[in-house]
Amino acid sequence: MNTNLSSFCIFIAVFGLLGVCHGQLRMHFYEESCPHAEEIVKKIIWNRVACNSTLPAKFLRMHFHDCFVRGCDASILIDSTTNNLAEKAAIPNLSLAGFDIIDEVKTELEKTCPRVVSCADIVALAARDSVSYQFQRPIWDVLTGRRDGIISRESEALANIPSPFFNFTTLKQSFANKSLSVHDLVVLSGGHTIGVGHCNFFSNRLYNFTGKNDEDPSVNSAYATFLKTQCKSLSNNVTIVLMDPGSPLSFDNDYFKILKQNDGLFQSDAALLTDSEATYNVNEMLNSQNFFTEFAQSIMRMGAIQVLTGTSGEIRKNCSVVNP
């Protein structure tokens, strides 16, 4: 093993990703095959985020939803066909956005390096670059070398994407199924510091928590009163509410501060305070530097879930369609 590869494997071991060392995920995977790949992705993503500050939350969510179904293989990008309902058709994914920008990136990369850069890597890079625009520097490393999957099923998205209605036990199991720890669960939940939530994913906490027209007692009463002014009924599935009202467009650790005030929007947020280990990790994330350091590590672990590398999968020419 040469010195560079040895150092890489040591780095991987530190981050708990030793299994992908031989799976060919590494920094600057396209250095020789498409040297400007990451620069092209970053330029387009940064240009788009400069005009639309809601994109970081959208790309971060897309990356998360992709990795939790069949691993990080861009199966989230595949369109449904007459014979198959794809992941995009699943309820948790109906509000996803940014697919057109992924297509824009792919089109540019195909002009420069045909059939070289995977859609799966584009999704991972887009998540990092969009969130990093705020800081004008990358805030986590993205290992590349993923290949694209050829299967996308609505049913698998429904079965694998953690629900905002989950309690802690179910959340923990959902993450464990992907080889992610309670620590990763808490840290990655910090992604809720940007973005919005639709009323129908939390209004049961306001109006019918136990089926008796009651309110979730774990919600701060003042916050519940405010939410009721936004979501006036259980049937409202259109209105959106900011997940972090104080700084909704800033990627920071404020999520954990509002969580401690019982102002977490979803039941799955509040659930983090029902377990001692999770609560300990929440308290650790109240330190901003801890959050940024740990988020970088946890999202790298997430980005390595069941990756296809080497000769597995394919490099899609069009991200929304499996190669003919």
Binding site, by residue number, is 66, 69, 71, 73, 75, 87, 162, 192-193, 244, 252
How far apart are alpha carbons 69 and 263 in whole angstroms? 29
For the question of residue 183 being annotated catalytic, the response is no
Alpha-helical regions (H) of the chain: 3-14, 37-51, 55-67, 99-112, 119-132, 154-160, 168-176, 182-189, 204-207, 221-230, 254-260, 267-270, 276-284, 288-302
**Annotated catalytic residue, options 28, 63, 65, 183:** 65
Which one-letter amino acid corresponds to residue 293? T
List residues forming the annotated binding site for Ca(2+): 66, 69, 71, 73, 75, 87, 193, 244, 252
The separation between CA 228 and the C-alpha centre of its own chain, rounded to angstroms, equals 28
- Write out the catalytic residue numbers: 65
